Amino acid sequence: MTKSHPLGRLGAVIGALFIGLSALFLVSPPAGAAAAPPDAATVIGAWKTNPLFTLSGSPLTSAQQSEISTTLDDAKYPIYAVALPEGTVTRANVAQFIPGLLTQLDKEGRSAATVAVIDGTTLFAGTTAFPQRAVATMANESASAHVENPVAVMQEFTNRVEMYLGGNRTAPLKPGDTISGNGGVWATLGVIAVVGGGGIWLIARRNKRRREEKEAAELKAVKQTVEEDVTKFGEEITSLDLDAKMLPAAGTDHDWQHALDSYEKAKVQLTQVRRADELRDVTATLEDGRYALAVVKAKVNQLPLPERLPPCFFNPQHGPSVRNVRWAPPGGALRDVPACAMDADAIERGFDPQMREVVLPNGQRAPYWAAGPAYQPYANGYYGGFDGLLTGMLVGTMLGSAFGGFGYGGYGAGYADGVAADGGGDFGGDFGGGGGDFGGGGDWGGGDFGGGDFGGGDW
């Protein structure tokens, strides 16, 4: 693909972990029954050799598949696509399919990626690389610029993603054709006329410095949160130490040693953290150790051994959950979340649970799940080992967008002020965007973006 935009390579990858969802093209889906989409492991395995996975029955020709593959292969940033027969996914099951792909990519070490699912002539997209509202706009403009040409639409979309992640936050969101010269070139020339070549370089350096400063501040804040969790775990071990040692007959030796080893391991891991994503290993160790400690407590108190359940959603420091409860974030929808006995009882009696709150950069406090995408590794370590849990319980929260939630981002009412990245310009409300749950704007070329959870533009 020819990347003609002079600003498309400026800057560095923006580390924001928000999700976007968009649809690109124009024709109605068929009424017939659809086959199940392929499993995530199969797709991820194929992506290791080709960024476009094509299922038999996709309307894309061999030539179109080859051109799209080349476009994605040449992209500077990780962009993957799945081409399926028309009607394979629906607005219901795509909510599980794309998050599953993004979660699997994250496990493979590709945590900032964009995934496109081309369902016949309709395209759904999710990303962990940049904000929802931005990707929705880029998808809309890409489709408008290249009606009835899926290859050009994908080239346009890929180019806009690269321009945005390269540091140009203006031209990718404007109407026009950025791959052959319309619109995008005029936007570029306008910027060049104002700032000049030297100015562009200075802006790129300034943006890089600001990004690095922001990432350093976020790492410091989240690392402090994890350090508090490690300290709390150590205090619980100390408080149980005498009981555990006095009751060797209870068979606590193995589990007690496992809890001690986990505590020591978490402390060592924390000292070695240099990047935010490494904090995931620390909280995963804490989750494992807390379960071992819960087993020890049960044996000491001659209670049934606890089931291996995820940590309490409201505060991972509370240890393993005992059951799910129905709960909704401020302004969001009800969902099942794992809770400890204390918080489950509080919720069921109509009281607020004891939230794990953290300090935001502006000094305010908010639950960890409303504190921004920097807390993605924190949550992933605690809950990532429980399949399908994160995307379900974080729908409608700030962290939902960091786990393949298709614009689950935004924040619950009451936590919006002072939390938005980049001054709040890219996000709004629980879902942002336009009339639908995931945004996307109005009609274009006969397709309707505003009506559903994932938009609905066809080519």
The pLDDT-based confidence of 392 (bands split at 50, 70, 90) is low
Contact 176, 184 (CB under 8 A): yes
Nearest Cα neighbor of 352 from 320, 328, 379, 316 is 328
Selected residue with higher pLDDT from 425 and 299: 299
Q: Which two tokens stand for residue 405?
A: 């939630």
Separation of alpha carbons 434 and 452, rounded Å: 10
CA 341 to chain centre: 29
Compute the 3-state secondary structure of the chain and give helix, strand, coil in percent, each to the nearest 5.
50, 10, 40
Residue 18 has pLDDT above 90, yes or no: no
Residue 428 has pLDDT above 50, yes or no: no
Residue 29 has pLDDT above 50, yes or no: no
76-80, 213-217, 226-230 — which is least confidently predicted? 213-217
Separation of alpha carbons 56 and 43, rounded Å: 13
Nearest Cα neighbor of 120 from 45, 46, 64 is 64
What's the angle, vertex CA 457, arms to CA 127 and CA 135, rounded to 5? 25
- Tell me what pLDDT residue 71 has: 93
Selected residue with higher pLDDT from 79 and 399: 79
- Tell me what pLDDT residue 31 has: 41
- Tell me what pLDDT residue 344 has: 96
Bridge partners, 311 (sequence order):
320
Average pLDDT, the chain: 73
Residue 376 has pLDDT above 90, yes or no: no
Selected residue with higher pLDDT from 266 and 36: 266
pLDDT tens-place string over residues 340-352: 999 999 999 999 9
Hey, which of 98-112, 252-266, 357-371, 414-428 has the most confident mean pLDDT? 252-266
Contact 83, 58 (CB under 8 A): yes
Residue 111 has pLDDT above 90, yes or no: no
Contact 367, 354 (CB under 8 A): no
pLDDT tens-place string over residues 308-328: 999 999 999 999 999 999 998
- Tell me what pLDDT residue 318 has: 95
For the chain, the structural domain boundaries read 1-182+429-459, 211-424
- Tell me what pLDDT residue 264 has: 96
Nearest Cα neighbor of 22 from 136, 151, 175, 147 is 136
Separation of alpha carbons 177 and 12, rounded Å: 23
Phi, psi dihedrals of residue 22, rounded to the nearest 5°: -150, 160
Residue 249 has pLDDT above 70, yes or no: no
Task: Return the amino acid letter for 307.
Answer: E
